[in-house]
Amino acid sequence: MSRLIRALLAFALVFSSSSHAAGTDPLPSWRDGNLKKSIIEFVSEVTMKAGSRFVPPEDRIATFDNDGTLWSEVPTIEVEFTKNRLQEALKKNPNLKNQEPYLSLLKGTPVTQLTQKQILEIVALTHTGMSEEEFSSEVREFFKTALHPKLQVPYTQAVYQPMLELLAYLRANDFTLFISSGGEISFMREVATTIYGVPSQNIIGSYFVDKLEEKNGRLVAVRTSALGLINDKENKPIGILRHIGKRPIFSVGNERSGGDIAHLRFSRESALPNFQIMINHDDEVREAAYSEKDNASLAAAKKFGFKVLSIKNDWKQVFPSQKSIAKDF
Amino acid sequence: MSRLIRALLAFALVFSSSSHAAGTDPLPSWRDGNLKKSIIEFVSEVTMKAGSRFVPPEDRIATFDNDGTLWSEVPTIEVEFTKNRLQEALKKNPNLKNQEPYLSLLKGTPVTQLTQKQILEIVALTHTGMSEEEFSSEVREFFKTALHPKLQVPYTQAVYQPMLELLAYLRANDFTLFISSGGEISFMREVATTIYGVPSQNIIGSYFVDKLEEKNGRLVAVRTSALGLINDKENKPIGILRHIGKRPIFSVGNERSGGDIAHLRFSRESALPNFQIMINHDDEVREAAYSEKDNASLAAAKKFGFKVLSIKNDWKQVFPSQKSIAKDF
């Protein structure tokens, strides 16, 4: 957590018992409407000490998916990183480019058309075999120069402005924020603190098992290709519970692959007051429009009572510098 | 985190740039001496913004072992819980009492004389097969009535008073505190917030893999007997890095089994200023005196530069209500 955020948190704790300064809009990039209204209503209720729906701060746990929820997943940023690392691997071992599954990826086959076994093979090649410190350094290098192909900005600016406001609003109301994503944990950790203000210990993700080795007289954690957890679908509540020890009461995910249905349901079925948002990517002008073949995520939202967020209708602005970005779409 | 602790934290953040109120002793149960002096010196240095050893708050990560470090491990409290649960299991299945490894435990064989396989079998029987919520409720029930055999107080009062002061001192100086123990994670989570002010998301421990199941139309995490991690010895840095994403700069463990050597070394080999304490249980009057056959932990302290804490010499008081307790030893 940055010093600024900590100072703001302290300020909020000392000078306000709830929410936001009177008269100011805590979510300026959100269009006024039912969803925005219900978020503010929920936060007001659970922070009102005398109220019947009060939730003590230690139970105000919020979990956010990352790809397609906090930042854009068209393209999926970690896939772009993976392709980048594959190119580096090819320099060292050119024969790989004629071998599956690398050949398919290099020919442009979308990741969604690869099998999970193929994806894991590619991820293992590009994400493991080095120390955690070496991997972090590779991730940092990638983010220094890589540009979002459509937005032509660094990937760290492909974040959703309304989500940054929601994170700040919840934080000011004494929620503890976690990211729980199918993305690889160390990859996310390199940027999450800077762009979201979420500290590395509040990131939950997929991972490979580390092995402790002594290198040059120093203990280092080496990334092996043994899969630890794919933090997606039915595994996501498991990853959340292992890490936090509690059900979240505020959870946000998005439709694309059904990856957040169990996540949001786990929050929905908390014994405490709770709130869930399923994002519908329906804005082809400002971001991207896509949906699931079986419509499972939106059907689950209806069945279990998650709110549905329409990017088109609920957000005034999508990216931090909307005006310069909008024309690119 | 309790409201009180958060308020204190906020107070500390707003009104003080470091440490403790001038003139007051932040560690009153510690005897004045080299160790106490060096702790205060380290904390002062890493919090002094203009100094050469300043560490920003987000990197002030502190990790504490639990058994024998924060509370007494004579007897090991989770072993007592395990015996309690074994008695419950025997009521349902009396044949178990004639079977190994239960027979050995019931006959009084010390856990240290059982094989790891035997221990895991007993722990699996007593700790798995139920939902996380059911297990938590069993742990809470145990702590409600069980008494420490020597102290004759609830186990939650078998904590070390000087460690409570050290936790508070570090917290007031913007350290983020974690417990990293070989103990089972959900067992610890039930009491750690209350007794140490460490929230459930800051507990790292051994665990069995959960499985998501639908029960009465609700998703619940069921504890399977598949071992996830034994968070001890060489695995402890792995568990810490998986959970926190950073090396700790302040770590405390104790001698008995060599379980904290890698833990403290991982902190010692941080690129940032760092501090480690290895506790030597040498006070048979007020607590217990025990040591390792191979003296590995104290030898490692010397080799790698961990401070050694002598309970006999460094602590004025061991348990919160020392006077009434001391006579029992």
Q: What is the per-residue pLDDT across A132-149, written as a single tens digit (0 to 9) for each?
A: 999 999 999 999 999 999
Residue A97 has pLDDT above 70, yes or no: yes
Q: Is the dihedral of CA A77, A83, A84, A89 positive or negative?
A: positive
DSSP state of A204: E
Q: Is A176 on the interface with B (CB under 8 A)?
A: yes
CB contact under 8 A, B243 and A201: yes
Return the pLDDT at A322.
Answer: 59
Using the Cβ of A292 and the Cβ atoms of chain B, whether some distance falls under 8 Å is answered with no
Write out the H or E segment, with its range, that includes residue B10.
helix B3-15
What tokens appear for A306 in the block? 């998650």
Instruction: Decide if pLDDT at A323 tops 60.
Output: no
Residue B9 has pLDDT above 90, yes or no: no
What is the set of domains in chain B, with CATH numbers?
A: 3-75+153-326 (3.40.50.1000), 77-145 (no CATH)
* DSSP class of B31: P
pLDDT at B329 exceeding the cut of 70: no
pLDDT of residue A23: 76
Q: Which of A212, A268, A303 is best to mutate for the B interface (most B CBs within 10 A)? A: A212
- The nearest alpha carbon in chain A to B61 belongs to A201
Using the beta-carbon criterion (under 8 Å), do A3 and B57 form an inter-chain contact?
yes
Q: pLDDT category, A11, cuts 50, 70, 90?
A: very low
The answer to whether the CB atoms of A265 and B219 lie below 8 A apart is yes
Which positions 11-50 of B are in contact with A (Cβ < 8 Å)?
11, 13-14
Query: Do A242 and A250 meet the contact criterion of CB atoms below 8 Å apart?
Result: no
B135-159 mean pLDDT = 95
Q: What local confidence, expressed as pLDDT, does residue B324 receive?
A: 39
Task: Kindly tell me the burial class for residue B122, based on how many C-beta atoms sit within 10 Å of its own C-beta (0-12, 13-18, 19 or more).
Answer: buried
Q: Which residues contact A264 (CB under 8 A, 6 or more apart)?
A: A251, A253, A276, A278, A300, A301, A304, A306
Radius of gyration (C-alpha) of chain A in whole angstroms: 20
Q: What is the C-alpha end-to-end distance of chain A, expressed in Å?
A: 33
Which whole-number Å values give the CA distances from A47 to A13, A172, B5, B7, B256, in the listed order?
Answer: 12, 11, 17, 15, 45
Q: Does A8 touch chain B (CB under 8 A)?
A: no
| Residue whose C-alpha is closest to residue A202's, from A212, A211, A192 | A192
Average pLDDT in the A302-329 region?
Answer: 81
**A6, B57 Cβ separation under 8 angstroms:** yes
Does A207 contact B at CB distance below 8 Å?
Answer: yes
**Chain A interface mutation, best of B14, B137, B242, B251, highest count of A Cβ atoms under 10 Å:** B242
Query: Which amino acid type is present at position A143?
Result: F
Q: What is the pLDDT of residues B149-187, one digit of tens each?
A: 988 999 999 999 999 999 999 999 999 999 999 999 999
The position carrying tokens 């944990």 is A185
Per the CB < 8 Å rule, is B201 touching A57? Answer: no
Contacts for B215 with CB less than 8 Å, ≥ 6 apart: B131
What ipTM did this prediction achieve? 0.91
pLDDT at position B21 is 64
pLDDT tens per residue across span A273-302: 999 999 999 999 999 999 999 999 999 999
On the question of pLDDT at B302 being above 80, the answer is yes
DSSP state at residue A264:
H
- pLDDT for position A213: 98
- ω before A101 within 30° of 0 (cis)? yes
Name chain B contacts of A274, Cβ cutoff 8 Å: none
In terms of Cβ atoms closer than 10 Å to its own Cβ (0-12, 13-18, 19+), residue A23 is: exposed
A55 touches chain B (CB under 8 A): no
pLDDT in tens, A13-61: 444 444 566 679 999 999 999 999 999 999 999 999 999 999 999 999 9
Write the residue in A203, A207, A242 that is nearest to B207 by C-beta.
Answer: A242
pLDDT digits (tens, 9 = 90+) for A197-235: 999 999 999 999 999 999 999 999 999 999 999 999 999
pLDDT exceeding 70 applies to what percent of chain B?
Answer: 91
Banded pLDDT at B321 (limits 50, 70, 90): confident
**Residue A217: closest CA among chain B residues belongs to which residue?**
B269
Nearest in space to A135 (alpha carbons), one of A75, A224, A219, A65: A224
Q: Does B223 reach chain A within 8 Å, measured CB to CB?
A: no
Which residue reads 């169990």 in tokens?
A262
Residue in B16, B241, B269, B306 to test binding to A, most A beta-carbons within 10 Å: B241
State pLDDT tens for residues B209-221.
999 999 999 999 9
CB B90 within 8 A of CB B97: yes
Burial A188-218 (b: 16+ CB within 10 A, else e): bbbbbbebbbbbbbbbbbbbbbbebeeeeee
pLDDT > 90: what percent of chain B? 87
Q: What is the pLDDT of residue B112?
A: 84
Which residue has better confidence, A151 or A197? A197
Q: And the tokens for B235?
A: 């695995």
pLDDT (average), residues A87-112: 92
* AA identity, residue A43: V
State residue A20's pLDDT score: 63
CB contact under 8 A, A10 and B6: no
Task: Provide the chain B residues 130-169 that lie in CB contact (below 8 A) with chain A.
Answer: 132
pLDDT, residue B322, reads 59
pLDDT at B230: 96
The whole-number pLDDT of residue A112 equals 84
Residues in B touching A270 (Cβ below 8 Å):
none
pLDDT per position as a tens digit, B247-280: 999 999 999 999 999 999 999 999 999 999 999 9
Within 8 A of A221 by CB-CB distance, chain B residues are 237-238, 241
Query: Between B1, B209, B235, which is nearest A58 by CB?
Result: B1
Instruction: Give the residue from B146, B166, B218, B188 showing the smallest Cα distance to B62.
Output: B166
